[in-house]
Amino acid sequence: MKKLINIRYFLIGLGISYFASSCVDLEEEVFSAVTADNFFKTDEEFISALGQAYSSLGGLGNHSGLWSINEIASDEIVVSHKGGDWFDGGVLLQLHQHEFQPDNPFLQNTWNFLFGGINTCNRLIFSFQQLDNPNSPAFIAELRALRALYYYWAMDAFGNVPIVTDFTSTEAPDTKTRKEVYDFILKELNEIIPLLPVAKDGTTYGRMTKWAALMIRMKLYLNAEVYTGTPQWALAAADASEIINSGRYSLSPSYKDNFAINNSGSSENIFVYPYDKVFAGGFNWVMMTLHIVSQSTFNLTQQPWNGYQTLEEFYNSYVDPEKNPGVQGPVWKGLALQPSTGTIDGRLSNFLVGPQTRADGTVLIDPGVEPTDPTGRNGDPNGPPLTFMPYLNEISPGGLRQAGARIAKYEFEMGGTNNMSNDFVIFRLSDVILSLAEARFRLGQTTEALALVNQIRARAGNLSPFTTLTEENLLAERGREMYVEMTRRQDLIRFKKYGSAWWPFAGMNRPKRVHSPGSFLELFPIPAPQILANPKLKQNPGYN
């Protein structure tokens, strides 16, 4: 019911947007019109208009935008060039190898996504400001919070971006420094957090609340040293503690519940985008990661694209290969994932690995497997069984069709379409707990930090608690818990590991681009089309 309420309002909002922008016959007799005088009278009417701003978030769950650039540029995800598939002009290889180019279309798509969302927020804020209505201030605060989220993502990715708040301005905006953007976001959040709703119920599901806005501010403070040069660990800890102590959120008993098809009941998710395969499409991971013949595994209505894969080293971080012989690098030697000894991380549900079958349980054959596949499964003249291997042989040009653990964090629907109905998790309590642990750790409060991290490990499954906490195991735990939640690139930068000699390319037959902490490569370049369209924008250093 929560999801249906919100999708209903989103759709009404989209309908208003279409009505307002479509062409009309000037000879037509108009019987009604949506205006400020006759529409913005009730909360429901305001919320339906707000749906236009929230619907912009629908770009998060698909290929070639903000999520893609963050994940492919991290050590979590790669899209290998598989024969004639997925070269795409080399743009995906550029992202993963940190050879960022201003003309990469993924960067342009990301910029359009972010500033399209900002523009919609500005337009609605302007509309609401024209109203003499007691409802306006609360909804304007909500829009400012959402705009702050878009700016936070823009600052994190591109650093120096324009600040635009006046919808009526016709002047091309100047580039602002990363510090100026940080200060702007912080000022906005400080002003509007007291005005935002505190409820966690069907009326606020999928909308900006005090807790979601606090989480944006917490993340600003957590990364303040990267963004401004001045750490703010104590302030990050204060915001994280306020969210936790509110008592409105709790860890779900099962990690997987947060990402189920029907995950609107999660006690842990703080802010989501409510996708729906019929009414709010665009969540395409089922297409992006599954093998072509996986269509038969889930009886999908369309054939997947066989693209996104997990790096072998990242997958192996969940499993001790000495205790769990199912993972032995650099080649996949076996298929057993349940060891007779040792411990197993319940968060391996993040991945799809091993033999795959049809929906009826029969063996699923991959007739197009390469003759060079090294696993010794080429004896069958009909082709070997489809088997997802954590092993990745190379990034290009001969990436194997079956290589790489596939992204299975969100439950796949049997009989599903190319659009998934799981609500996309933007913020959740686990991140808050681990962020508080890190802030405490940085402040020297290691006992409390250790206890917080072990909360997460205890929920993960049959794992031993850490007895000590180090930067290395704290970063690794964040990685395991927050896999593909668009935090990894940011975490690697904050922990000074991004692009370092530690960067894993083992076995992938490509040179790695090693760079030191603080490198210009920690920012993406401003997209070339934006520089051409607005000469006032300044390209980030290193990309000129």
Task: Express each pLDDT in 374-385 by its tens digit.
Answer: 665 555 666 678
Look at residue 320 and tell me whether its pLDDT is greater than 90. no
b/e per residue 13-32 (b: at least 16 CB within 10 A): bbebbeeeeeeeeeeeeeee
| Structural domain includes residue 337 | no
* Integer CA distances (angstroms), 105 to 48, 85, 111, 525, in order: 32, 18, 10, 12
CB 309 within 8 A of CB 315: no
Residue finishing a domain among 247, 264, 281: 264
pLDDT in the model for residue 496 = 95
| Structural domain includes residue 156 | yes
Cα distance between residue 219 and residue 461, in whole Å: 27
Look at residue 273 and tell me whether its pLDDT is greater than 60. yes
b/e per residue 106-145 (b: at least 16 CB within 10 A): bbbbbbbbbbebbbbbbbbbebbeebeeebbeebbbbbbb
CB 280 within 8 A of CB 58: yes
pLDDT in the model for residue 262 = 97
What are the beta bridge partners of residue 345?
A: 461
Task: Enter the tokens of residue 217.
Answer: 């501010």
For residue range 50-85, what is the model confidence (pLDDT) as tens digits? 999 999 999 999 999 999 999 999 999 999 999 899
User: What CATH number has the domain bearing residue 175?
Assistant: 1.25.40.390
DSSP code of residue 466: P
| Structural domain includes residue 120 | yes
| Structural domain includes residue 362 | no
The domain total for the chain is: 2
83: number of Cβ within 10 Å: 13
| Structural domain includes residue 431 | no
pLDDT in the model for residue 313 = 87
pTM of the model: 0.91
Look at residue 12 and tell me whether its pLDDT is greater than 50. no
| Structural domain includes residue 305 | no
* Least confident span in 251-260, 265-274, 392-401, 450-459: 392-401
| Structural domain includes residue 222 | yes
58: number of Cβ within 10 Å: 18
The rounded mean pLDDT for the chain is 87
For residue range 138-164, what is the model confidence (pLDDT) as tens digits? 999 999 999 999 999 999 999 999 999
- Considering only CA atoms, which of 172, 158, 35, 175 is closest in space to residue 100? 158
Q: Which residue range forms the structural domain that includes residue 202? A: 2-25+33-79+98-264
pLDDT in the model for residue 42 = 74
| Structural domain includes residue 320 | no
